[in-house]
Amino acid sequence: MAITDIRLQHFRSYHDSSFELDGKVNIIVGPNASGKTNLLEAILMIAGATSWRAKTSETISFNKPWARLDAHTNTGQRTLKIIREPNSKTYEIDNVNYKRLAINKRLPVCLFEPNHLLILSGRPELRRDYLDDLAEQIYPEFGLARRQYQRALAQRNSLLKQGRVSAKAQIFSWNIRLAELAGQLVASRLSLLAQINSKISDLYQALASSRDKISVNYASPLNTSHYETSLLKNLEGNIDEELARGFTLAGPHRDDLQVIINNKGVSTSASRGEARTLTLALKILEAQTLEASSGSSPLLLLDDVFSELDGARRQKLTKYLSNYQTFITTTDADVVIQHFTTSANIIPLQN
C-alpha cells in the first residue's frame, strides 16, 4: 500500500505544507535543519507508528494548540489529529475514528535512522526492542503478552522493593504469571530469530560482496528450550537476593542478542562500514518479514542512509529498495539518484 500525498499542519517545522509522493522512490533533499527528518517522521506517524524522536505531543509546532496530518493512500484516506491540551491523538481512517490503531489498521513501515547503528553495539534493551517491535507486528498475540509481562514485572518489583520476608508468599503468584508470559515472549523471539538466521548471511554477503558468515544468537542464562520452567526455578531460587536488591534479576527483560560475524562478536570486531551494512541487512529482513506477514509491502524510511556507504554498497542496496515505496533523506541528491535506473521523485526542501 502506497501513500500518494501528505499534508502537514502545525507539525514540527511545517505550518501548512503538502507533498505529492511517488509509489516507488522519493528522495527528500535539502540542507541540514530544512525539515527532512520531520517529513519522514510525519510519514511514520500517519502510518500508525509512534515517533522515534519524541512524545507525540512534542511534534506540535511551538506555541500551537494542535497538529494535523492528512494522507491519501491508493485505497483510502487517513488523518492524524494531535491536541496539546488535553494531550490526545485521534486517527481517522475512511471516516471512522480510532484512539489507537490495531495492527491491521496500520500501514507496515520499516525505519532506518542513524541511531539504529547502536542496535549492534549499544545497550541490550536496544536489541530487545528491535526484536520485540518486529515481533509485535507479525505475531498478533505478542503485543498483549508484552504489555502483560511489563505489568506483572512491575507488580513483582514493587513487592520486592518492600524488602520484607513476608512478601515471599505474595510474590509466588507473580512468579507463576511472570514465567508463563515469559515463555510466550521467548518462544516468539526464537521463532523470529530462526527466520532472520535463515537469510541474514546471504543478504549480508550480497550487500557487502563478501563471504562473511552472520548469525544472531539469543543470549540468556536460562534454558531457552524450557524457558518457563527454567525462569520459575530461577525466580524461586534467587528470592532472597532479589528482596535485597529490590528488582527481578532474570527474565526476557534481561536477555540479549549476540550478533556474530565469522565467529566474532560484531560489537568488538566489525568496522563502521560492516556495522552499517549489517544494520541495513537487518532492516531489509525486517521489511521482507513484514511483507510476508501482512501481505502488503511496507514503507521504507531511510534517514541519511547513503552517507557512509561506498558506491558498490549503495548500488547493491538500491536493488532491494525497488520493491517498496521508499523515502530517502539526503543533503546531496546526486549521490542517491545515480544509483536508481528508474526516475525518482525529488522533494526539495529549503531552510
Per-residue pLDDT of the chain (351 residues; tens, 9 = 90+): 799 999 999 999 999 999 999 998 899 999 999 999 999 999 999 999 999 999 999 999 999 999 999 999 988 899 999 999 888 999 999 889 999 888 888 999 999 888 888 888 889 999 999 999 999 988 989 999 999 999 999 999 999 988 776 667 789 999 999 999 999 999 999 999 999 999 999 999 998 888 989 999 999 999 999 999 999 999 999 998 998 899 999 999 999 999 998 888 887 777 777 888 888 899 899 999 999 888 888 999 999 887 767 777 777 888 888 789 999 998 887 777 777 756 789 999 987
Rounded CA gap, 86 and 141, in Å? 31
Q: Name the helix (H) or strand (E) containing 172.
A: helix 167-197
Q: For the sheet with 109-112, list strands across it.
A: 109-112, 299-303, 326-330, 25-29, 345-348
**What residue ranges of the chain are covered by domains with CATH 1.20.1050.90?**
122-269
Per-residue model confidence (pLDDT) at position 178: 97
Per-residue model confidence (pLDDT) at position 234: 97
Task: Report phi then psi at 341, rounded to 5.
Answer: -75, -30
Position 68, amino acid = R
Q: Are strands 3-11 and 66-73 parallel, antiparallel or unpaired?
A: antiparallel
Per-residue model confidence (pLDDT) at position 103: 83
Say if CB 145 and CB 135 are below 8 A apart: no
Cell of 336: 542517491
Q: For the sheet with 264-265, list strands across it.
A: 214-219, 256-261, 264-265
CA dihedral of 28, 29, 34, 36, whole degrees rounded to 10: 30
Fold annotation for 122-269: Glutathione S-transferase Yfyf (Class Pi); Chain A, domain 2 (1.20.1050)
CATH superfamily ID and name for 3-108+297-348: P-loop containing nucleotide triphosphate hydrolases (3.40.50.300)
Per-residue model confidence (pLDDT) at position 342: 67
Alpha-carbon Rg for the chain, nearest whole angstrom, is 22
Cα distances from 128 to residues 49, 135, 198, in angstroms, run: 18, 10, 19
**What residue ranges of the chain are covered by domains with CATH 3.40.50.300?**
3-108+297-348
Tell me the whole-structure pTM to 2 decimals: 0.86
Start-to-end CA distance of the chain, whole Å, equals 31
Positive or negative, the Cα torsion across 97, 50, 73, 89?
positive
Per-residue model confidence (pLDDT) at position 341: 58
Per-residue model confidence (pLDDT) at position 316: 81
Residue pointed to by grid coordinates 547513503: 306
Per-residue model confidence (pLDDT) at position 337: 75
Cell of 283: 532492516
**Pick from 26, 12, 20, 11: which is nearest to 343 by CA?**
26
Cα distances from 219 to residues 104, 143, 190, 253, in angstroms, run: 32, 22, 11, 12
